[in-house]
Structure 1
Amino acid sequence: MAEIVGGFLMPHDPLIPSITDAAEPAQCDRVLGAFEKVARRVDELDADTAIIIGDDHYALFGPHCIPRCLIGIGDVEGPAEKWLGFETGVIENNEPLAKHILFSGYDDGIDWSFAKALTVDHGVAVPHHYCVKSNVGLRTIPVYLNCGVMPVVQGRRAQQIGQSIRRAIGSWGGKERVVVFGTGGISHWVGSAEMGRINESFDRRILALAGAGDVEGLIALSDEEILREGGNGALEIRNWICAMAALGESRAELMLYEPVPQWITGIGFAELKAA
């Protein structure tokens, strides 16, 4: 059967590729080096499929339709944003496994939306570019949770979606070796007067909870507390919750934390390992 062989938490900050040189050179090197380390670990794990959990930033969905959770089950390409500096190209999907996750989720009561054709935004494109593209034969299943537009997906629901993904992979008859990426965050304020602010103490609190495998502690953080302490961008830790739930009992081993004001984000990387 298929199995989840690893997981990672990481940023999908679009300013990393679009204004790379804006950051301090040493910080830039460390962040890009962390992406490279994730890519190497994925290769060492002999993974053939990456599930990238991200969220839309009004690039794909608008007020007319905002899915709570969506999975790409067909053709995938990206990125949608030309200003990232990446060439738009095909992203190879694992369509049979993606469809299995979809239908298994329905059996679990997960209200999946799905896309038979999807052009991803930076929420998926950035981690794909840095951590998947260089691994020949590694396919990508894109998953979107609504962490950007109120009312956002709640932490408990993000956990349930991750648990459903785990069950689906465990029941799949193939032999895929899957890695799961929870992307986004940590503290950043987008489109407000506080844009550029980073709350390092909040970030380290989130990393400590993830490091202890305390998913319940992450779920307990209300929208109001996250918005106050970490900004609207920090709601993306719900993607982290989903990834941690997909791994099961796990702890996040810190790889790097960098507060980068030039990229307006407190950036965190961690590898998820069995508790």
Structure 2
Amino acid sequence: MSKIQLECMSHTPLHGYFDPTPAVVEEVERVQRAARERVAAFDPELVIVFAPDHYNGFFYDVMPQFCIGVNATAIGDFNSAAGELPVAQNVALALANAALRSDIDVAVSYRMQVDHGCAQALDMLTGGINRYPVVPVFINSVAPPMASCRRARLFGDALGRFVAQMDKRVLLIGSGGISHEPPVPEIEGADAVVAERLIAGRNPSPESREARQARTVAAAKAFAAGDSHLHPLNSAWDRAFLDLLESGDVSAADGLTNDAITREGGKSAHEIRTWVAAFGALAACGPYDASIDYYRAIPEWIAGFGAMHARALERQHVAIA
């Protein structure tokens, strides 16, 4: 059995709030169950999850491009799992040092807050946010200016070269959307109230969080009804991206520029960086075999919803004490 496996899957905060037909929901849940069964059979000793944030844990007071959590708590937005993550602290710090040795500037956080973008993937794939030792890895995907896809791949590569030397079963998770553009506010042109929320909006009141979630649900209903200015889903672009990762040459993602991602996939399509980084880490462990498990454009969830899994075929093995 390969000691390095990968699961990448879109997430949505709208599941349970505004769903597509029961048949589509069951379709997605069937794919999720299969992924969870693969993870259970693999029984990882460590999980590294690459995830974005949606102005819940990271803000413009200091917005890193990459951050590794040394301690982390899930905030439980959109009814996602909440609580402390069992972070493998020594591994988290070792991964940060590995990235820095590879000339990738990465921040560390001893008080990371993660939202549904991280918690939903952990909960769905492993059966809970505290099932396995974990290292949460934040990749800025909504707050311009943003690092390139190439930089995200190189970041993943730096972490993957360290993982390749570990004598552990390691699960890599990429949690992010493909084409989608939910109503995430932007600091450019924002009024003073919105700007302050984007700069220092941690720990909002329950009423404020509820109002934000209600706006997202309302936007999804308008989008599904065809009455929205939000960027349309782009199935052709989504499938081309999935095919790129399946091909085994993740470096081809280097050509995806920020402007092109926004133009083709929408402003939140930048979350593909989480998939690129996860596959970059896997590729650093050697050739891999990947499978596209699912794709469907789901307007009710404002998401091109996809799922892939992969495993390393071979790698250099030098045990770390």
The verdict on how the C-alpha distance between 1:196 and 1:157 changes in structure 2, with shifts beyond 3 A counting, is closer
Secondary structure, counterpart of 1:186 in structure 2: coil
- TM-aligned CA deviation for residue 171 of structure 1: 3.7
Of the three residues 199, 207, 217, the one matched with 2:242 is: 207
CA contact (8 A) 1:50 1:139 kept: yes
The verdict on how the C-alpha distance between 1:238 and 1:43 changes in structure 2, with shifts beyond 3 A counting, is same
Could you say which residue in structure 1 is the equivalent of 2:8? 9
Could you say which residue in structure 1 is the equivalent of 2:74? 78
Matched, 1:110 2:78: no
- TM-aligned CA deviation for residue 31 of structure 1: 1.3
- TM-aligned CA deviation for residue 135 of structure 1: 8.8
CA contact (8 A) 1:59 1:80 kept: no
Matched, 1:38 2:35: yes
The verdict on how the C-alpha distance between 1:73 and 1:219 changes in structure 2, with shifts beyond 3 A counting, is same
**Equivalent residues in 2 for 1:199-238, closer than 5 Å:** 199-238=234-273
Distance in 2 between residues matched to 1:129 and 1:122, nearest whole Å: 10
Alignment-mate amino acid for residue 167 of structure 1: R
Distance in 1 between residues matched to 2:129 and 2:267, nearest whole Å: 33
Could you say which residue in structure 2 is the equivalent of 1:101? 95
Distance in 2 between residues matched to 1:136 and 1:112, nearest whole Å: 24
Unpaired runs of 5+ residues, structure 2, are: 185-227, 314-321
Distance in 1 between residues matched to 2:229 and 2:288, nearest whole Å: 34
Matched, 1:121 2:119: no
TM-score by length of 2: 0.77
- TM-aligned CA deviation for residue 176 of structure 1: 2.5
Larger Rg: 2
- TM-aligned CA deviation for residue 251 of structure 1: 4.5
Distance in 1 between residues matched to 2:56 and 2:128, nearest whole Å: 25
CA contact (8 A) 1:250 1:273 kept: yes
Secondary structure, counterpart of 2:174 in structure 1: strand
- TM-aligned CA deviation for residue 170 of structure 1: 3.0
Deviations 1:125-146 (A, max 9, x none): 1101211234984222100111
The verdict on how the C-alpha distance between 1:207 and 1:170 changes in structure 2, with shifts beyond 3 A counting, is closer
Could you say which residue in structure 1 is the equivalent of 2:282? 247
Matched, 1:49 2:46: yes
Secondary structure, counterpart of 1:71 in structure 2: strand
Secondary structure, counterpart of 2:110 in structure 1: strand
CA contact (8 A) 2:178 2:306 kept: yes
The verdict on how the C-alpha distance between 1:152 and 1:125 changes in structure 2, with shifts beyond 3 A counting, is same
Deviations 1:70-109 (A, max 9, x none): 00012x221352xx11352222111121111112222221
- TM-aligned CA deviation for residue 250 of structure 1: 2.8
Write out the 4+ residue segments of structure 1 that deviate beyond 4 Å after TM superposition: 134-137
TM-score by length of 1: 0.89
The verdict on how the C-alpha distance between 1:136 and 1:234 changes in structure 2, with shifts beyond 3 A counting, is closer
Structure 1 vs Structure 2 CA RMSD = 2.0
> What is the aligned-residue identity percentage?
28
CA contact (8 A) 1:72 1:114 kept: yes
Deviations 1:185-224 (A, max 9, x none): 2111122854372111111111111121232332211111
Secondary structure, counterpart of 1:153 in structure 2: coil
Distance in 1 between residues matched to 2:260 and 2:130, nearest whole Å: 41
Could you say which residue in structure 2 is the equivalent of 1:133? 127
Secondary structure, counterpart of 2:70 in structure 1: strand
Of the three residues 183, 201, 206, the one matched with 1:191 is: 183
Could you say which residue in structure 2 is the equivalent of 1:266? 304
Distance in 2 between residues matched to 1:4 and 1:71, nearest whole Å: 22
- TM-aligned CA deviation for residue 150 of structure 1: 1.2
CA contact (8 A) 2:47 2:133 kept: yes
CA contact (8 A) 2:150 2:253 kept: no
- TM-aligned CA deviation for residue 270 of structure 1: 0.5
Could you say which residue in structure 2 is the equivalent of 1:145? 139
Distance in 2 between residues matched to 1:222 and 1:259, nearest whole Å: 23
Alignment-mate amino acid for residue 73 of structure 2: E
Distance in 2 between residues matched to 1:22 and 1:142, nearest whole Å: 28
Secondary structure, counterpart of 1:22 in structure 2: coil
Which structure has more strand as a fraction of its residues? 1
